[in-house]
């Protein structure tokens, strides 16, 4: 198999978008970095002594209408990546192109449009809903901010949206505490959808729910995707959920992408040793735990990531070059990209 | 066959809510044997934690009580013991670990102090000896450089480390029973796998009985021998793990398994159980699952189905599945 480096300007998956006109890239993330400075406080001035490399040189492309899953252990930068894509936090370096335009260059009007077009849904809907605001007002607010319709029209839109996410429109005047966890997540989804966005970034949106409620919410999200041609960035640490919902999956470790592949490809033709370990660790209905996990569990910190391949300190197959050379994310065919010096020998 | 270390018989727990009695756990019976892990599974609010707190006698006496049943530890009924007598049981005979280690570790004391406290109390050894035992225990749970860990504070540790420290504390007096209430729920799958491996090996080494409480059937499948499925405060099915996975009998168990993305059979939807769990205190004359059950008949609504024992390890609380419809 040939391993071809992709051009510095093009992100993996882009070529696929160019082949067929229908697959337009809606988001292009190019060499994106987000570092959080670490300061040590001096007497008068505090001095920057380092940085947490939360997102470090991440590139990938998202096609309109697809669901891209993002997985990785806690602290690997999934949420930071989501927030940087929405410009909730400013990038350190690199670019995020939305409809081929760099969001860092957006003026106020364009930013306001972006705020409508990309919405986020979080894990804990209770924390993200105002406890003193009725559901009606909570859903009306985004419309109000964007000066949509008259008061009556807005109320009608809210009631219609409640119905769409499977809630009774009579809940218009209820407060968040009157709802169960699953219902609150429906409200959060309704709020994200009310301004007819193009992209939804779901950050652990179903992680706190019981399995049968989780199934209901996942079904709802899929229905809404079909109906409104939504594009999803679906962040989760749950591999079985990611496998079910995603078209493509991005595996992150310490701020970097280790592997990107079409969903079935990732699970059936796993190449990166980190992905392998993650799949191995995930609980499965079909197997009994025997013996001990092989992976070294000494997890390095994002403020002092290992040299070379960031995974080398935990990788059973690490070689000398892994300690010094950062492996490039290379396409090994079929848009399956791997950042590992051993990728070639691991492909079979 | 070995003797059960713990026999819970017909346990009922009520909450007292503004003078109304709300049953949270009813008629729960579980036998636990040394060297075995049993799973207690069910959705949020079904009474798992209430059960574990009842076993530890840690229910808030102001608004909760064990209204019926017994909890026998080697023939001694824990429900009859005074608080003082219970203090000698907790930590020494039965230990518990919780979901959120940060809330159960005291933030202002070092790990060493929190570990040695129980050892001095239960084993009557000197502080010096307790420290040796503590360091030994930290080694058992695979903590590197245990001497340094003894001097650390909880906030200095990662989630996985904290949970391992909690396990070290829980096991420091060689309890016969470990109750683990969602011990890995807040952790990464990699850390979870490691904690499960650790619980497995310590269980074998110390011949402990482990009660694993979780909402995650995947975790149960990986380490439990027997499973108890709870719904609305009741056990609805008990089985050896393979039997439960291959041939779930209760419609609720079937629904839970079918809702899992792992069990997705194709098509563009995931299965889900319609409706929601009834709130505790809801008057239900028949089967508590009836409103959500696709097999529900008139009989199911008229009388509560009993938990019918089908063979040594298998019981089900459903008229249809027990063949008594
Ligand atoms: N505002 C911030 N200031 C400093 N460091 C931060 C900030 N936000 C995140 N970090 C750090 O950046 C890294 C990535 O964090 P992030 O929250 O993106 O991870 P995550 O993959 O979403 O993790 P989780 O699964 O726990 O949600 C972590 O090391 C985190 O401590
Ligand atoms: N102190 C209390 N007073 C009144 N009701 C309570 C009290 N504690 C718990 N409950 C109720 O009893 C029921 C069982 O709660 P419990 O915490 O045992 O559930 P659980 O199965 O552990 O759920 P989870 O998976 O969410 O931890 C719930 O409906 C809960 O609201
Ligand atoms: S007893 Fe009836 S309602 Fe209850 S689970 Fe069985 S079939 Fe369904
Ligand atoms: Mg996050
Ligand atoms: Mg609980």
- Is A222 in Cβ contact with B268 (below 8 Å)? yes
Pairing verdict, β B76-77 and B64-73: antiparallel
Q: Which two tokens stand for residue A67?
A: 């669901």
**For residue B36, how far is its CA from the centre of ligand 4 (angstroms)?**
36
Distance CA B275, CA B11 (A): 28
Distance CA A348, CA A336 (A): 13
Write down the mean pLDDT value for chain B.
91
Distance (Å) from the C-alpha of residue B182 to the closest C-alpha of chain A?
A: 13
Q: Which two tokens stand for residue A155?
A: 């109320």
Q: Using the predicted structure, report yes or no on whether residue A38 has a pLDDT greater than 90.
A: no
Greater model confidence, B185 or B134: B134
For residues A273-284, average pLDDT: 92
- Is A215 in Cβ contact with B270 (below 8 Å)? yes
Distance CA A111, CA A107 (A): 6
Numbered ranges of CATH 3.40.50.300 in chain B: 6-93+175-316
Report the pLDDT value the prediction gives residue B325, as an integer from 0 to 100: 64
The verdict on the CB of residue B231 being under 6 Å from ligand 3 is no
Contacts of A289 in chain B (CB under 8 A): 193, 196-197, 200, 222-223
CATH topology of domain B6-93+175-316: Rossmann fold (3.40.50)
Report the pLDDT value the prediction gives residue B47, as an integer from 0 to 100: 92
Contacts of B193 in chain A (CB under 8 A): 280-283, 289, 293
The verdict on the CB of residue B63 being under 6 Å from ligand 2 is yes
Residue A169 DSSP code:
G
Distance CA B13, CA B68 (A): 7
Spatial CB neighbours of B105, under 8 Å, sequence gap ≥ 6: B111, B114, B154, B162, B165, B166
Distance CA A163, CA A190 (A): 9
Q: Which two tokens stand for residue B264?
A: 């997705």
Greater model confidence, B190 or A292: B190
- Is B144 in Cβ contact with A285 (below 8 Å)? no
pLDDT in tens, B8-55: 999 999 998 888 889 999 999 999 999 999 999 998 889 999 999 999
Distance CA B21, CA B206 (A): 41
- The answer to whether ipTM exceeds 0.85 is yes
For residues A134-162, average pLDDT: 93
Greater model confidence, A158 or B17: A158
Distance CA B57, CA B86 (A): 8
Contacts of A298 in chain B (CB under 8 A): 144
Going B158 to B164 to B169 to B172, the CA torsion angle's sign is negative
Distance CA A318, CA B31 (A): 47
What's the predicted TM-score (pTM) here?
Answer: 0.89
CA-based nearest residue to A260, from A275, A280, A282, A245: A275
Pick from A39, A51, A80 the residue to mutate for probing ligand 1's pocket: most ligand atoms within 8 Å of its CB. A80
Greater model confidence, A181 or B93: B93
- Is A181 in Cβ contact with B44 (below 8 Å)? yes
Report the pLDDT value the prediction gives residue A18, as an integer from 0 to 100: 42
Distance CA A188, CA A208 (A): 14
Q: Using the predicted structure, report yes or no on whether residue A290 has a pLDDT greater than 60.
A: yes
The verdict on the CB of residue B318 being under 6 Å from ligand 3 is yes
Spatial CB neighbours of A190, under 8 Å, sequence gap ≥ 6: A139, A161, A162, A164, A165, A167
Distance CA B290, CA B22 (A): 20
pLDDT in tens, B142-193: 787 889 889 999 888 877 788 889 888 988 888 999 999 998 887 888 888 9
The verdict on the CB of residue B286 being under 6 Å from ligand 3 is no
The verdict on the CB of residue B17 being under 6 Å from ligand 2 is yes
Q: Using the predicted structure, report yes or no on whether residue A299 has a pLDDT greater than 60.
A: yes
Strand-pair partners of A270: none
CATH numbers and ranges of domains, chain A: 3-39+47-347 (3.40.50.300)
Write down the mean pLDDT value for chain A.
88
Give, rounded to a whole angstrom, the gap between the first and last alpha carbons of chain B.
34
B198 alpha-carbon distance from chain centroid: 17
Q: How many CA atoms lie within 13 A of A93 on its CB side?
A: 10
pLDDT in tens, B234-282: 999 999 999 999 999 999 999 999 999 988 888 888 999 988 888 877 8
């Amino acid at each position: 198999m040939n391993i071809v480096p992709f051009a510095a300007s093009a992100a993996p998956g882009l070529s696929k978008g160019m082949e067929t006109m229908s697959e337009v890239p809606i988001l292009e993330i190019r060499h994106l970095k987000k570092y959080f400075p670490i300061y040590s406080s001096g007497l008068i001035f505090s001095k920057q002594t380092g940085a947490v490399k939360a997102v470090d040189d991440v590139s990938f492309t998202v096609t309109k209408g697809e669901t891209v899953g993002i997985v990785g252990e806690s602290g690997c930068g999934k949420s930071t990546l989501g927030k940087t894509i929405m410009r909730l936090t400013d990038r350190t370096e690199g670019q995020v192109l939305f409809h081929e335009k760099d969001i860092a260059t957006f003026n106020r009007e364009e930013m306001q449009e972006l705020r409508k077009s990309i919405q986020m849904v979080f894990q804990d809907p209770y924390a993200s809903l105002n406890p003193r605001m009725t559901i009606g007002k909570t859903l009306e607010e985004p419309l109000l901010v964007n000066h949509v319709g008259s008061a009556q029209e807005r109320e009608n839109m809210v009631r219609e949206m409640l119905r769409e996410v499977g809630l009774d429109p009579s809940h218009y005047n209820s407060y968040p505490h009157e709802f169960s966890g699953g219902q609150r997540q429906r409200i959060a989804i309704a709020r994200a959808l009310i301004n007819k966005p193009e992209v939804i970034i779901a950050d652990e949106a179903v992680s706190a729910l019981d399995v049968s409620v989780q199934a209901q919410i996942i079904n709802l999200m899929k229905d809404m995707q079909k109906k409104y041609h939504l594009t999803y960035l679906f962040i989760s640490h749950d591999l079985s959920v990611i496998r079910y919902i995603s078209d493509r999956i991005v595996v992150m470790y310490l701020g970097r992408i280790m592997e990107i592949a079409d969903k079935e490809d990732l699970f059936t033709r796993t190449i990166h040793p980190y992905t392998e370990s993650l799949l191995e660790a995930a609980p499965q209905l079909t197997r009994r735990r025997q013996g001990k996990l092989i992976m070294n569990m000494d997890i390095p910190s994002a403020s002092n990531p290992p040299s070379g391949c960031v995974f080398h300190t935990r990788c059973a197959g690490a070689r000398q070059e892994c300690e010094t050379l950062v492996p490039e994310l290379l396409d090994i065919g079929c848009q399956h990209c791997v950042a590992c010096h051993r990728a070639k020998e691991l492909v079979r | 066959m070995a003797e059960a270390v713990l026999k819970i018989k017909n346990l009922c727990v009520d909450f007292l809510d503004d003078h109304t009695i709300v049953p949270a756990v009813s008629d729960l019976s579980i036998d636990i044997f040394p060297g075995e892990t049993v799973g207690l599974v069910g959705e949020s609010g079904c009474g798992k934690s209430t059960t574990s707190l009842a076993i530890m006698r840690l229910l808030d006496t102001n608004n909760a009580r064990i209204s019926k049943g017994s909890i026998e530890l080697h023939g001694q009924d824990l429900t009859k013991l005074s608080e003082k007598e219970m203090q000698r049981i907790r930590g020494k005979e039965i230990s518990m670990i919780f979901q959120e280690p940060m809330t159960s570790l005291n933030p202002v004391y070092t790990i060493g102090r929190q570990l040695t406290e129980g050892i001095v109390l239960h084993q009557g050894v000197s502080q010096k000896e307790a420290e040796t035992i503590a360091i030994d225990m930290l080694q058992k749970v695979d903590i590197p450089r245990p001497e340094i860990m003894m001097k650390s504070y909880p906030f200095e540790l990662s989630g996985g480390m904290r949970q391992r420290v909690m396990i070290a504390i829980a096991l420091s007096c060689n309890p016969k029973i470990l109750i683990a209430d969602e011990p890995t729920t807040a952790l990464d799958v990699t850390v979870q796998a490691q904690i499960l491996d650790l619980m497995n090996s310590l269980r074998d080494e110390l011949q402990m009985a482990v009660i694993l409480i979780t909402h995650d059937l995947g975790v149960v499948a990986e380490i439990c021998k027997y499973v108890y499925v709870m719904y609305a405060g009741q056990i609805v099915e008990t089985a050896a793990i393979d039997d439960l996975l291959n041939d779930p009998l209760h419609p609720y168990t079937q629904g839970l398994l079918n809702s899992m993305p792992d069990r997705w059979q194709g098509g563009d939807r995931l299965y889900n159980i319609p409706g929601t769990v009834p709130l505790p205190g809801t008057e239900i004359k028949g089967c508590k699952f009836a409103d959500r059950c696709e097999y529900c008949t008139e009989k199911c609504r008229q009388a509560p189905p009993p938990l019918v024992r089908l063979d040594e390890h298998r019981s089900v609380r459903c008229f249809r599945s027990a063949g008594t419809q």
